[in-house]
Amino acid sequence: MTWINLLMSIEYNQDTISETVLRHGPKALELFSIKDDWIVNYLSIVDSEKLPYPLPKLENTINQWLIPTEYLEMDIEGFLVDQCPKENYDRLNQELNLYRKHNMIELLKAVKYLVDTFEKNNIVWGVGRGSSVASYALHLLGLHMIDSVKYKLPIEEFFKEI
């Protein structure tokens, strides 16, 4: 089933419209015979932005993370090594190499801040979801409770090449 057929088969709502525009550009909405005022308004705003479609991937930079300075400056790799049992160093090192390769070390700092904030404020979060449970580093940070080493989850499930 093509994305066109899929879109035409579901009932539209603002989220569906937004996702369609972000993924395929405003021209994709010509498939629908929708004349609601909010959609016409929305399309005129989107069209005025002149964005390329599909949207390009953004590079992660330290300036994009709005977290306290103490987290921006922390040695997250050293922290993870300290949390890791010796027998799992190879797995952690493999993951850290992938996080570096994909320019995602700063993400680990943001996750640490998020988990610390949740704990400090007694906020409950899930035990783990999706491909994130394949990351042992995220487990060590406390984002999820699934030990990917114990369950032999390959890190490639988290770092899928596009």
- Which pLDDT belongs to residue 3? 46
pLDDT averaged over the chain?
A: 78
**pLDDT of 80-99, one tens digit each?**
999 999 999 999 999 999 99
Rg over CA atoms, the chain? 21
Which amino acid, one-letter code, is at 161?
Answer: E
CA 84 to chain centre: 24
Coil, strand, or helix at residue 105?
A: helix
- Which pLDDT belongs to residue 18? 63
Report the alpha-carbon distance of residue 143 to residue 109 in Å, rounded.
12
CA dihedral 15, 59, 143, 23 (to 10 degrees): 20
Report the alpha-carbon distance of residue 6 to residue 129 in Å, rounded.
25
| Full-model pTM | 0.61
Q: Where are the domains of the chain?
A: 3-49, 62-157
Intra-chain end-to-end CA distance of the chain, in Å: 21
**pLDDT of 20-63, one tens digit each?**
666 666 666 666 555 566 566 666 666 666 655 555 555 555 45
